[in-house]
Amino acid sequence: MKTFDGYMHGIGIGGWLTNYKRFKFIPSELRTVISPGDIEHFNTFMTSKDIESIASWGMDHIRFPFDYLIIEDEDKPLVYKEDGFRYLDECLSWCKRAGLNVIFDLHKAAGASCDFASEVSIVDDPGLRRRFIGLWCEMARRYRSEGDNVAFELLNEIAVEHDHSWNALIKDAVAAIRSIDPKRKIVVGCNRYNSVPRLKALDVLDDDNIIYTFHCYEPMEFTHQRAVIMPVIASFNMYMKYPSEIEPYRAYRRFAKAKTDPYAGFDRMDRAFMEHWLEPAVEFLRKHNRPLYCGEFGVIRHCDIVSRENYYRDLIAICDANGIGHCAWNYLTAPYDANRFSIVDDWDRKPLSEELIRIIS
């Protein structure tokens, strides 16, 4: 079984250079503006002490999400900003000192944001495709002297109508990177928000340094319970537990007028359901024998801590049993964020649960 060596137990550092604002709540004309407050946030949100803490827990890597606007202004395509790259370079130096590997994850690209799936145009617009590939060529040039301590993740949670259009862009981007950096580890995810069921639609490339990734937030009514960015779940307005009887989950499906029943045949929400949900990932491993990586999973912070611990414990146990590297979302969330998955306190950076730290590391 092939594994993503050096990237088996990690944590994301979202909230620094992505999701630093909740763009869903910002007027469209201001979404691409970097404000003075944003700069202040970029300069102060993460420090070397945070990276040292993560390393002290026994993690082997971080997933470092960044938005294209950090290194490229909206109105200046293919012109890259040294003052933006400074954040990536500085964090990489912290990680090297701490012994952590880094996945540079392009979380939002021009024409592709998981916050605005209906507006994704990157696969159809030639200019946006060139811009996407150009950014990755710049990343490849900049970091080609790094070893396996650095990996690239092409794009976070794309959602487009046709799988083949995303597969085609993956191939073009990988070819462009390979022309500069032949051996860099490149992480690619599937359509529909990196969802487990869509793994089967990914084209598997003839390249041993491609890593395939999925995200797992199922069941959403548990992991995103009462989340204000999820209107139907927020309207359901129920604290959910894990494990539990299945009825609260079925009650949510009825409330949401869902057309499918993922809980058919289950009388409890527990590890057995999670194993069932992750079966397409295990099947992908059996079929292709390629490294597989769960790049995001987690439970919203206002869930009771014991249920959070139970969920992380079960999902990680399933991943570990199958040689799947994993990365919890998320280390730290800005206090004003509407979707907080942090595992440390917003202010003193101390773990919310020592048991949770033990589980994820």
Q: Which residues belong to the active site?
A: 157, 296
Determine how many CB atoms are found less than 10 A away from the CB of residue 159: 18
Angstrom distance (rounded) from CA 68 to CA 65: 10
Determine how many CB atoms are found less than 10 A away from the CB of residue 333: 21
Rg (CA), the chain: 19
DSSP 80: -
Determine how many CB atoms are found less than 10 A away from the CB of residue 209: 16
DSSP 298: -
Angstrom distance (rounded) from CA 127 to CA 288: 33
Closest CA to 294 of 181, 203, 218: 218
Write the Ramachandran bin of 78: left for phi over 0, alpha for psi from -120 to 50, otherwise beta.
left
H or E element at residue 71: helix 68-71
Angle at 339 between CA 38 and CA 256, to 5 degrees: 140
Adjacent-strand bridge partners of 251: none
Angstrom distance (rounded) from CA 331 to CA 298: 10
Residue 98 in tokens: 């701490």
Adjacent-strand bridge partners of 11: 62, 328
Closest CA to 136 of 100, 86, 202, 180: 180
